[in-house]
Amino acid sequence: MERLLSIDRRYIFVFVALAVTIPLLIKFDLPVPVTKEVKGIYNKIDSLPEGAHVLIAFDFDPASKEELLPMALALLHHCFRKNVKVVGMTLNPGGTGLANSAITDTGKQYEKIQGEDYVFLGYKTGVELVMINMGENIYSAFPKDFYGNATVDLPVLKGVQSLTDFDYVIDLASGSSIEAWIAFGKEKYDFDLGAGCTAVIGPDMYPFLQAKQINGLMSGLKGAAEYEILINRKSTAVAGMSPQSVVHVIVVLFVIFGNFLYFMSGRKR
Amino acid sequence: MNRDVSITTWILIAFGIVNIYFLTTGKLSFGLEGLGLITAVALTLAIYSFLYKDNPAFKIVENLFVGVAMGYWIIITWFNILKPDVLEPLIVPLFKDTGKSPQYIVIIPTILGIFMLLRFSTKLSWLSRWSFAFVVGLGSGITIPNFVHAFILKQMEPTFAPLYTGDILGSINTFLILLGVVSVLIYFFFSVEHKGVVGGVSVIGVWFLMVAFGASFGFTVMARMSLLIGRVQFLLRDWLGIIQ
């Protein structure tokens, strides 16, 4: 019993590695039910007319790419299919390259033209000050886009003067930027806001959903997988759901096993 | 040769053989793309080698990550902030006819920014207090009213909603929100001894907190596993090419 309680943790790592790898090699599909939180974002974008403006804030960096990039790609595919104008930006300097390649690569797949159908504004420091600045005048906050083009001349921004002119704003966050978008964006300038975030901060976002400060929420890889199913484009997030389920079962079994051994060994608190 | 050196040597030999095979069979290109992929794979494996034990490969890659990230941030900050917001509107028009007059107002934030860097000087570090005073004053002025509105007043609204929402499940939800808020607040109210009714309600508050911590832990496990899944997908699909 004592030997089992002091088991080398590397055995657990091996189990977890196998639980992730085997389901990826032996493909099997598990159902991924779509939640109303994710459907909130999907329904909003789906209801937008052609030419509507959607702002996507790519507020994440490569450290959380595995969770948030599938979300970003799914959203971009949906927007481009609907012929919605996409405006990208980031408040995280580490996310600039990721965001730019996501938006341009997806745009090219739908033969969209940069500056006319989509634009990436780049990175700006200041977080809440950037939001307030955008709320007053987007051209003052971003005089030039990521490639140095004057934003006032871009056809994609025609009809957009400030944050209130966007039909929908979505923040994809690995940090606290969703709270900032709520406090300094949505509540101050009154626009529809959706959010995607890493699973770690997912539970903290539910109060905002309850208070209707965000109209939808994608949380972690599961949220991205749900969105992929909604747009009928199964990709990395859906593929990741089988190993995710298997590894969760392994973790639960280890927790039960550990507790069982703990009580059986008669250890006192 | 000790065991760890032996394991490392065999892993390096296996890694080398696999990549040479992929390069010679054309599965990986000899160009920048192939080299970039091999580098990414090597870095991924080096980071995960920490799970076996701390080792020099992990240390090198850890430091490399910090260095690369910092270098990337500096470049992004130069091209997205300093060049368009300071150099082009203020410095360039001073020395070159661009058809635009210099924006002298930019001098104030630029000087405040430079003052911040004077923290490193023992003689002039007092100047950085001006910058910090500006940041703290501005930050408080902007943050306090917005936070009170967004995170206190607006968050209280669901608690004040009528208990009966028209359907049973919705009503249960509203009741749970009310019960959760009240019981957790009572748990953190220490001016009254937690006995009797107060004690009972605070126990309910503890249960709500435990459920919240459990949910938080579950989501954290999911997040960490998602990162691992992403990396394994990268190794199996992009490098080894054994999954689509």
Q: Among B244, B238, B234, which residue's Cα sits nearest to residue B33?
A: B238
Domain residue ranges of chain A, discontinuous segments joined by +: 2-27+246-264, 36-234
How is residue A114 annotated by DSSP? B
B51 min Cα distance to partner chain A (Å): 7
CB-CB: which of B51, B76, B158 is closest to A123? B76
Query: Average pLDDT of A134-147?
Result: 94
User: What is the pLDDT at residue A200?
Assistant: 95
**Is residue B155 within 8 angstroms of chain A, CB to CB?**
yes
Q: Nearest CB to B155: which of A10, A148, A207? A: A207
Q: What's the average model confidence in pLDDT over B108-137?
A: 93
Of B157, B173, B189, the residue at which a domain comes to its end is B157
The complex scores an ipTM of 0.90
Nearest residue, CB atoms, B229 vs list A64, A184, A244: A244
Owning domain of residue B200: 161-239
Q: What is the pLDDT of residue A119?
A: 97
pLDDT confidence band for B1 (50 / 70 / 90): low
The per-residue pLDDT for A64 is 93
Q: Based on the fold, state whether residues B8 and B83 are members of the same structural domain.
A: yes
Average pLDDT (A153-163) is: 96
Backbone torsions φ then ψ of A172, nearest 5 degrees: -105, 110
How far is A131 from chain B, CA to nearest CA, in Å? 12
Please check whether residue A190 is in contact with residue A166, taking contact to mean a CB–CB distance below 8 angstroms: no
Residues 37-76 on B with a CB inside 8 Å of A are 51-52, 69, 72-73, 76
B89 and B8 co-located in one domain: yes
Residue A149 banded pLDDT, cuts 50, 70, 90: very high
Query: Residue B203 falls within a domain, yes or no?
Result: yes
Of residues B162 and A3, the one with the higher pLDDT is: B162
In a domain, B80, yes or no: yes
Of the candidates B147, B157, B212, the beta carbon closest to that of A183 is on B147
Tokens, residue A177? 């930027």
Chain A contacts of B243, Cβ < 8 Å?
Answer: 24-25, 27, 239
What residue of A is the nearest CA neighbor of B89? A143
Write the DSSP assignment of A117-160 as a string of letters: TEEEEEE-S-THHHHHHHHH-HHHH-SB-TTS-BGGG-GGGTT-
Instruction: List chain A residues with CB under 8 Å of B212.
Output: 203
What pLDDT was estimated at residue A267?
66
CATH T-level topology, domain A36-234: Rossmann fold (3.40.50)
Q: What value does the mean pLDDT take over residues A22-42?
A: 93
Q: Could you tell me if residue B244 is inside a domain?
A: no
pLDDT of residue B157: 86
Q: Mutate which of B49, B226, B228, B242 to disrupt the A interface (most A C-beta within 10 Å)?
A: B226
- State yes or no: pLDDT of B158 exceeds 90: no
Phi then psi for A17, rounded to 5 degrees?
-60, -40
Q: Please report the pLDDT score of residue A269 as a whole number.
A: 52
B202 shares a domain with B168: yes
Res A153 pLDDT > 90: yes
In this prediction, residue B173 carries a pLDDT of: 87
Residue B24 lies in a domain: yes
Q: Tell me the C-alpha to C-alpha distance, in Å, between residue A72 and each of A195, A230, B33.
A: 11, 14, 24
Buried residues in B97-134 as b, exposed as e (16+ CB within 10 A)? eeeeeeeeebeeeeebeebbebeeeeeeeebbeebeee
Is B227–A244 a contact, with Cβ atoms under 8 angstroms apart?
no
Q: Identify whether B82 is part of a domain.
A: yes
Among A122, A213, A222, select the one facing B80 at the smallest CB separation.
A122
Task: Pick the residue of B83, B229, B237 with the most A CBs within 10 A to test the interface with A by mutation.
Answer: B229
Kindly report the average pLDDT of chain A as a whole number: 94
pLDDT tier at B165 (50, 70, 90 boundaries)? confident
pLDDT for A166-198, tens place per residue?
999 999 999 899 999 999 999 999 999 999 999
Q: List the A85-90 sheet strands across, edge first.
A: A118-123, A85-90, A53-59, A168-173, A193-197, A217-219
Q: Is the pLDDT of residue A7 over 90?
A: no
The stretch B8-25 carries a mean pLDDT of 91
Of B81, B142, B229, the CB nearest to A243: B229
Tell me the shortest Cα–Cα distance from B155 to chain A, in angstroms.
6
Closest CA to A45 of A35, A56, A60: A56
In chain B, the number of structural domains is 3
Q: Judging by beta carbons within 10 Å of its beta carbon (0-12, 13-18, 19+), is residue B243 exposed, middle or buried?
A: middle
Contacts of B150 in chain A (CB under 8 A): 179, 182-183, 186-187, 213
Is residue A268's pLDDT more than 70? Answer: no
Sign of CA dihedral B178, B184, B188, B192: positive
User: What pLDDT does A71 receive?
Assistant: 97
Is B233–A244 a contact, with Cβ atoms under 8 angstroms apart?
no
Cβ-Cβ contacts under 8 Å for A84 (sequence gap 6 or more):
A45, A48, A50, A51, A52, A53, A54, A167
User: Predicted confidence band at B204 (pLDDT cuts at 50, 70, 90)?
Assistant: very high
Q: What angle do CA A173, A175, A177 make, to 5 degrees?
A: 65
